[in-house]
Structure 1
């Protein structure tokens, strides 16, 4: 079993408030012993590392934070690696979907190449887990899935992934339900859905079909929901009934969920309570173009909220960097989160809930037996990281540097 020491790594250790009311994060320099990709010992810098043949890696006082989790992405859609191409003008969603469908056949042969370029971009920003939705539709069948699976195989042991069979052009049409099942047999790990009202035109039938596929393959679910207002609210409420009836508690998520922010607050609170009860997560890309789900209200009620970058540089938008931390920073700006406590807690939206300090400002990460997975940055604290978005000096997975250098 490989053993190594990571020397001079800055970790957050606690919090204090000065006489003027400013909150500060306390840090210390540590040496971490790693065996088999996990942390097995942690000693302070004033204690000498035992002599031996273990490899040593010097972090040079850089701050370590948990690696990021990109929780809403489309690896198969990007134009990356093909050169510059802006979006074709369209008049409405129907035209945009038609244009995408025309492009699918043209782009399919380069799916692996394009997906690998996007994976590299996400990894360079600190993301080591990717939840990707992959088009499953009548135009290309499973070709995009095949390309994405091949790309992810090249990053096995570095990047983990949720691979969602995604009916972008509608679940209730042609042979799509059959193709969705074929996708689940061919490597997809989750079942996707899309706008049961706006796209499928039948809320109950769309949701029941989604759940039927999920139960057949014992798979988790992630539903794109752009349908707004009370229609979207009803859709989520109906889905919560189904999760309770099917025993799918803790096994699904709603992506976008704009509707929760578009209904009266009492309605949003009712839904938040049910989402928490059924452990249904909400995935947000913090877009500029539409209302947001009420992240803080959901958080207050115990709903897991995670951020993602969505697709970027594709037929839908030429914008985007692949930096999920940027999404956290943007939300903090929108919500007016400015102080040390608020900023460092906000990191959880990029790390799937993991933060170095708990809500009381006490150290909770990393612990013995945790994976040696780190993003290294030149920052005083995770609060500065969220506010200022410094470059990622290095990314480490299981004790090995997979991006950048130390």
Structure 2
């Protein structure tokens, strides 16, 4: 395929040739160039890497359903209980909701997805199986990794471990964990189980860490200790971690250096809490950072609309980014930053100026979007989008081409 007249990362007008799922050439735009094979008129739009949503809960979505009043209370356990009380009563069956949400994400430019699937004594494997079904339905349109997730903890309810192991045995891509101190109240036992199961089934680890201040730092250090001792460098991600930068400067520097040394990545969902580790410092040190939407208008929160360009705006906003380079860095995190977490062979971002993903030999995971500059595209969040996965167009005009009707 030849994509003509596009502006990679907002640069000069170019023609981009794709072959066998990768970018084969990027050359200055020539209006008279005759394409070999398929042709796509870029119409002067921006060309950016496709989005990577590396923290989403497809299994709890209410996207496409009537808007409902938020009924959850404060705290993880209260929110989880609210989800348990309501998820079975939604207006459409769970597999339909999950598939519809994934479809909407792809239509808006996300072709790399890391989704959690809740597994516990309440839902058993039902939510996990719904996410797997959606993954298989859209296997030609997006790459989806599924993380088995003990939302209710591992130790609080008898039988949880058995369900977790059943999902891993069935082929889950990663083992999840959550708040080792504050939820299960036995951080050593919780993390030992997480790492034991991950090693047994040779999968990555992704731990939700909502814990603030010194408690959060303590849990992060326990995760790092096990990562080093068990040789799991490059296979561990910490999600949220929005309290790790609020203790003191020396602790912040130590954690950044530790994460970089062990290749422990960090996924943020751009929360209102701003005591997280400094993003630019993490990038400069070599810490992989990805972005995710978290819930999608679910029983936890009314936020989330399947659009990672919106979430990129939010990441820029909560960090106070006004400089074009920093806004561009937020977009690089939302695209190639997350991609480097899903596939550690993809190089991590090297600086706030790094704009990878559109060079010769890079995977043809691309989005064409209207905008004057990268910063303006983040601010305006245009809807004129064409999505390319593995070198072929999978969505256009906010519609996935493989499905007859939009969700």
The TM-score range, normalised by the shorter chain, is 0.7 to 0.9
The question of whether the paired residues in 1 share the 8 Å contact of 2:241 and 2:268 is answered with: yes
2:250 aligned with 1:266, yes or no?
Answer: yes
In the other structure, the counterpart of 1:11 is 8
How many Å separate the matches in 2 of 1:199 and 1:380? Answer: 47
How many Å separate the matches in 1 of 2:214 and 2:91? Answer: 37
Q: Comparing 280-289 with 229-238, which one deviates more in the overlay?
A: 280-289
Q: Residues 145-167 of structure 1: CA distance to partner in whole angstroms, max 9, x if unpaired? A: 11111111111121111210000
The question of whether the paired residues in 2 share the 8 Å contact of 1:260 and 1:294 is answered with: no
In the other structure, the counterpart of 2:38 is 55
Q: Comparing 262-271 with 85-94, which one deviates more in the overlay?
A: 85-94
Aligned residue runs from structure 1 range 194-273, under 5 A:
194-273=178-257
In the other structure, the counterpart of 1:303 is 287
Gapped regions of structure 2 (runs ≥ 5): 340-346, 399-407
RMSD across aligned positions (CA): 2.6
Deviation at 1:188, TM superposition (A): 1.2
The question of whether the paired residues in 1 share the 8 Å contact of 2:58 and 2:101 is answered with: yes
The question of whether the paired residues in 1 share the 8 Å contact of 2:153 and 2:178 is answered with: yes
Q: Aligned to 2:159, which of 151, 167, 175? A: 175
Deviation at 1:67, TM superposition (A): 0.5
2:67 aligned with 1:70, yes or no?
Answer: no
Q: Aligned to 1:399, which of 367, 375, 391? A: 391
The question of whether the paired residues in 2 share the 8 Å contact of 1:105 and 1:139 is answered with: no
Name the count of aligned residue pairs: 388
In the other structure, the counterpart of 1:378 is 370
With the length of structure 2 as denominator, give the TM-score of the two structures: 0.88
Q: Residues 320-379 of structure 1: CA distance to partner in whole angstroms, max 9, x if unpaired? A: 222223233223233332223222222221013389x98596885522232222111122
Residue 141 of structure 1 aligns to a residue whose secondary structure is: coil
Q: Residues 27-79 of structure 1: CA distance to partner in whole angstroms, max 9, x if unpaired? A: 22222222222222333223743575x22221111111000100110000012
* Closer/same/farther in 2, CA of residues 365 and 252 from structure 1, 3 Å limit: closer
With the length of structure 1 as denominator, give the TM-score of the two structures: 0.88
Residue 258 of structure 1 aligns to a residue whose secondary structure is: coil
Deviation at 1:115, TM superposition (A): 0.8
Q: Residues 295-328 of structure 1: CA distance to partner in whole angstroms, max 9, x if unpaired? A: 2332332211111110121111112222223233
In the other structure, the counterpart of 2:403 is none
How many Å separate the matches in 1 of 2:274 and 2:322? Answer: 23
How many Å separate the matches in 2 of 1:287 and 1:182? Answer: 32
2:77 aligned with 1:80, yes or no?
Answer: no
Aligned residue runs from structure 1 range 285-304, under 5 A:
285-288=269-272, 291-304=275-288
How many Å separate the matches in 1 of 2:334 and 2:265? Answer: 14
In the other structure, the counterpart of 1:16 is none
Deviation at 1:232, TM superposition (A): 1.1
How many Å separate the matches in 1 of 2:135 and 2:286? Answer: 32
How many Å separate the matches in 2 of 1:137 and 1:93? Answer: 15
Deviation at 1:212, TM superposition (A): 0.2
In the other structure, the counterpart of 1:344 is 328
The question of whether the paired residues in 2 share the 8 Å contact of 1:126 and 1:392 is answered with: no
Structure of higher CA gyration radius: 1
The question of whether the paired residues in 2 share the 8 Å contact of 1:112 and 1:147 is answered with: yes
Q: Aligned to 2:107, which of 110, 119, 124? A: 124
* Closer/same/farther in 2, CA of residues 91 and 238 from structure 1, 3 Å limit: closer
